[in-house]
Chains A and B, each alone.
Chain A
Amino acid sequence: MSRIRPLMAAGAVVVLAASMIAGLLGGAADISPWQVVLQCLDWLPLVDVDSGLAPVEQGLLWELRLPRVLIAAAVGGLLAIAGAGYQGVFRNPLADPYLLGAAAGAGLTVTLVIVAFPGAPLSIPVAAFAGAIGGVMLAYALGNTAGRSGGTATLVLAGVAVTSFLTAIQTFVQQLKVEELQRIYAWIMGDLGGGWDQLVLVLPYALVSGVVMLLHGRMLDVLSVGEEEAVSLGVRASRVRLVVLLAASLATAAAVAVSGLIGFVGIVIPHAVRRVFGGSYRVVLPMSLIVGAAFLVVADLFARTVMAPAELPIGVVTMFVGAPFFVAVLRTTRKVSV
């Protein structure tokens, strides 16, 4: 079915809400779920209820857990929907948000900032955002000058070239400053503890890119029958691809800026969604957004609690939890091929 059904969407939203409440609960301090729900209601404008939480506990929820859960949800949703967008544009199931050099670009600029200006916290997300956008633009420029005939294949190859080139520079810079290796590595493995500042920083980009992609579901369905047929149906296929590519890259850059590099979400969530709910992008895009958000919130909860008080890097958890999850999805749903 090509359209999202209300029940399907409602179910996914309930799962997301439950995972976010679970995310707020997880941690060392002992706070009951009911109190968390009451406190969340109290935070809403015009609502005034007494959750019975002490100011310290309220502060802990407000300053640490809530922004963290929201960042996890935003990053998971953005990476998943960006992955779905890239897969639609390239008509390639292996496309992921980092395909066009976003990860390598961000990796390089963040490494440069850590090495050159240690101790300036907000400059890292800004650098990551700029690096991710820069990497994609470089790949796009390269892909376009390398020849029109190849189309998307040329673009993917340009992405591969840009990724290796930028990674080479990044590795070189990193080797020059071995004492910063741990900070660089920690960023690469992903971190969702950025707080409200970082969330607010990327929110506008996240909203714009998300809305643009959600609006293009039907167009991506038309593209799925091939470039020439899409054109014969009156669609300016290359323009649609460019718009979705820009939006997906913006979403990726926003996610990378606040979270570092988190693998697996962008490729696994859209496929899992496709398996369960069907292949139309009108379903895959919104469902990827919701399921990706819920997935990363749960993965982060796992990362924070399984070895508490120590934290696992979130990138490790997404792969550790994600791989078996994906195998399970593959095994239980055989009806849909990719």
Chain B
Amino acid sequence: MISVQGLSVTLGSREVLHEVRADVARGEWLAVIGPNGAGKSTLLRAIMGLVRHGGTVTLDGLETGTIKPRRRARLIAYAPQSPLLPPDMTVFDYALLGRTPYIPYLGRESRHDREVTGSVLERLDLAELAGRPLAHLSGGERQRVVLARALAQQAPILLLDEPTTALDLGHQQQVLELVDRLRLADGLTVLTTLHDLSVAAQYADSLLLVASGHAAASGRPSQVLTEALVSRHFGAHVKIEPGPDGRPVVHLVRGGP
């Protein structure tokens, strides 16, 4: 569904990403992990076509450079790490922005657009907040509202940059469970960055470890999350054990490195 070949990004004079390749199958969840500043967010932004890049990105068989912006927006939805939420815009109006790729340039939303938005809010338990301004939401609600906007786009691919930052444990789980449920129900292909390695291993089908702009490792969570790789690329002293379901769990070891 997503195929990235030889992706390189240079910002200013610094090469942020170098020859990265990644493949995500339809319905799969790929989590991009890596230390701060490794280029995780840049990878997502390059896939979205938001930064100039070398190499090719193919979405559902279509090369991103060749498709029109509106067509691309119907194929792939994106939620940045810190989305800008206009404080006095209501939850409904914000989610409705997700319908933009279906509305003519100078046109207005159709009844269908409003119905889609309404049902997305319903699914995400946001129907009661529909009329509330974005300024009056808690952190967890904001994250769900951003997700609602992305889902209103009805794109088969979902790109989420750190969807759980600034959320407490319960809300992290709530958001990730939601993404997982929607993915299974609608057959969405999901690509996220996640900074918590155990969480990434828990939810994603496969992991891509990005370090200093290179794809350092990729594969199933148990293949990527090894003590050697984490120690080398994160500079952290960790112990990794299989959890109850066999997926790796990462523990920090006090006193290291």
Binding site for B on A (CB under 8 A): 1-3, 215-216, 218-219, 221-222, 224-226, 228-229, 231-236, 274, 278-280, 335-337
Contact = CB atoms under 8 A, between A and B. Distances in A.
A222 B97 contact: yes
B244 interface: no
Interface in B29-76: 45, 48-50, 68-74, 76
Taking residues whose C-beta sits less than 8 angstroms from the other chain, chain B's interface range is: 35 or more
B83 A215 contact: no
Interface of B: 45, 48-50, 68-74, 76-78, 80, 83-90, 93-94, 96-98, 100-101, 103, 105-106, 108, 133, 135, 153
A16 B172 CA distance: 52
B84 A235 contact: no
A189 B90 CA distance: 40
A173 B146 CA distance: 55
B50 A279 contact: no
A234 B84 contact: no
13 contacts: A221-B89, A224-B84, A225-B83, A228-B45, A228-B48, A231-B50, A232-B48, A232-B73, A233-B97, A234-B100, A235-B69, A274-B88, A279-B87
Contacts of A2: 89-90, 93, 96
Contacts of A219: 105-106
A274 B88 CA distance: 9
Given A279-B86, A279-B89, A280-B89, A235 B45 contact: no
A233 B88 contact: no
A280 B108 CA distance: 14
Pick the 6 closest A-B CB pairs, nearest first: A234-B73, A234-B70, A226-B84, A234-B101, A279-B88, A233-B100
B69 A225 contact: no
B87 A337 contact: yes
Nearest to B70: A234
A232 B50 contact: yes
Main secondary structure of the interface of A (DSSP, over half): loop
A221 B85 CA distance: 11
A222 B135 contact: no
Contacts of A279: 86-89
A228 B94 CA distance: 15
B78 A232 contact: yes
A1 B49 CA distance: 32
B88 A235 contact: no
Contacts of B71: 234
A127 to B, nearest CB: 34
B96 A233 contact: no
A226 B88 contact: no
A31 B97 CA distance: 52
A177 to B, nearest CB: 48
Contacts of B93: 1-2, 221, 280
Given A229-B80, A232-B48, A234-B74, A224 B89 contact: yes
A226 B106 CA distance: 19
A221 B103 CA distance: 13
Contacts of B90: 1-2
